Amino acid sequence: MSSAPTGSPPPDSVTLRLTLRSLKVAHTIATPARPVAAREALPAFQGLVNATVAAAERASVAAGGAISCRKGCGACCRQLVPISATEGERLLDLVAALPAERRAVVEQRFAEARAKLDQAGLVPALLDPAARAGRSDNDLSAAYFRLGLGCPFLDEESCSIHLDRPLVCREYLVTSPAALCAGPAQEGVTPVAVPKLSMAARGLESPDPAPDAAGRWFALALLPAFAQRRPTAGPAMPTLDWIKRFVSRLGRRP
Ligand code: SF4
C-alpha cells in the first residue's frame, strides 16, 4: 500500500490518493481545523472505506464477478460484527439520538442479544481482547454465527443505520449466491477482495500504534456493555491529524 495526502483544492479539504494492492483510490475529505474527538472524524474514514469498496467492486465486475448483495438480504447481519472503540462511541451517540420509542426497540434487541451471548458464555471474549486467550477471531466468529443472532439494527432484513453502519459492514460484499451467506459454515461464499481499512480504526485513540491493535475490537451486539466500561474522555485533534494517523496505520494491515 502507498498513500499520499495531497491537498490544495478547496481550502479545508484534502484529497487522499491511495494505492491499495492493485486498487487506486482517490477521495476528498473535509478537514475543518477545530479539534474533534475520533468519533467525529469517523465520517471521513467511512467515506474513504466507501471509495475503496467502490473501487474493489469495479475491479470485481471488470473481472467478470457480479455482486449478489441486495437491499433486503440480511444474511450477513447474523455474523459477528467487530467494531473499534471509535465506532462504538459514534454508535452510542446514534442510539442516544433515536426517538424514545425506536430507542426502546433497539435497546430491547441489545438486551436479548446480551442474554443469548451470556448463555453461550461468549461475553467476556467478545468484549475484552484480554479474555480471548486460545480463541482465534475465526473461532469466535463461528461460535457467534451458530447462535443465529440478528444484529439489533436489522429491520426486515435491511440495515436501519445504513449510512452509519460499521466499517466492516461496508467492506463485506460477495459474488456468490446470497443463500450461501446463511449457510452454517459460510461454505462457498466468495467475498470481493476489499482491503480491510476498518482495521486501521482499531486503537485509533492511542498515539502509538500498539502491536496488539488488530485485536482491539468488541462485538457490536455488546455495545451497551462497552458503554459501561469505556474510558471517560478520549483525545481531540483536527480531522486532518486523525486522517494522518488512520492512513499511517493502513500499511500495518495484512
Ligand atoms: S450494522 Fe447494519 S449492515 Fe451491519 S450487521 Fe447490523 S444491520 Fe447489518
Domain span at residue 242 reads 2-252
Which atom in ligand 1 lies closest to the alpha carbon of residue 162?
A: 2
Atom from ligand 1 closest to the CA of residue 79: 5
State the pairing for strand pair 23-30/13-20: antiparallel
What separation in Å is there between the alpha carbon of 110 and the centre of ligand 1? 13
Least confident of 64-73, 146-155, 235-244: 64-73
The DSSP code for 191 is: B
Contact yes or no for 167/46 (Cβ under 8 A) = yes
pLDDT per position as a tens digit, 7-65: 455 568 999 999 998 999 999 999 888 999 999 999 999 999 999 999 999 999 999 98
Compute the mean pLDDT over every residue in the chain, rounded to the nearest whole number.
Answer: 90
- What predicted TM-score, i.e. pTM, was given to this entire model? 0.91
Give the 3-state secondary structure of residue 24. strand
Phi, psi of 13 (to 5 degrees): -150, 160
Q: Are 167 and 47 in contact (CB under 8 A)?
A: no
Q: Calculate the alpha carbon distances from 177 to 48, 65, 187 in Å.
A: 27, 11, 11
Pairing mode, if any, of strands 154-155 and 23-30?
unpaired
Quote the pLDDT of residue 120: 97
Task: List pocket residues of ligand 1, CB cut-off 6 Å.
Answer: 77, 81, 151, 153-154, 159, 161, 165-166, 169
Rounded to whole angstroms, how far apart are CA atoms 109 and 157? 14
Residue 241 in grid coordinates: 491529524
Q: How many domains does the chain have?
A: 1
Predicted local confidence at residue 7, as pLDDT: 47
- Which class for 96: exposed (0-12), middle (13-18), buried (19 or more C-beta within 10 A)? exposed
Pocket test for ligand 1, best of 49, 53, 77, 92 (most atoms within 8 A of CB): 77
Task: Kindly state the cell numbers that stand for 68.
Answer: 449478489
68 and 174 in contact (C-beta within 8 Å)? Answer: yes
The C-alpha cell of 85 is what? 472503540
Ligand 1 atom closest to 168 (CA): 4
- Ligand 1 atom closest to residue 151's alpha carbon, by position in its atom list: 6
Interatomic CA distance for residues 199 and 211, integer angstroms: 12
Question: pLDDT tens digit string along 155-183?
Answer: 999 999 999 999 999 999 999 988 888 87
Task: State in Å: Cα 60 to ligand 1 middle.
Answer: 23
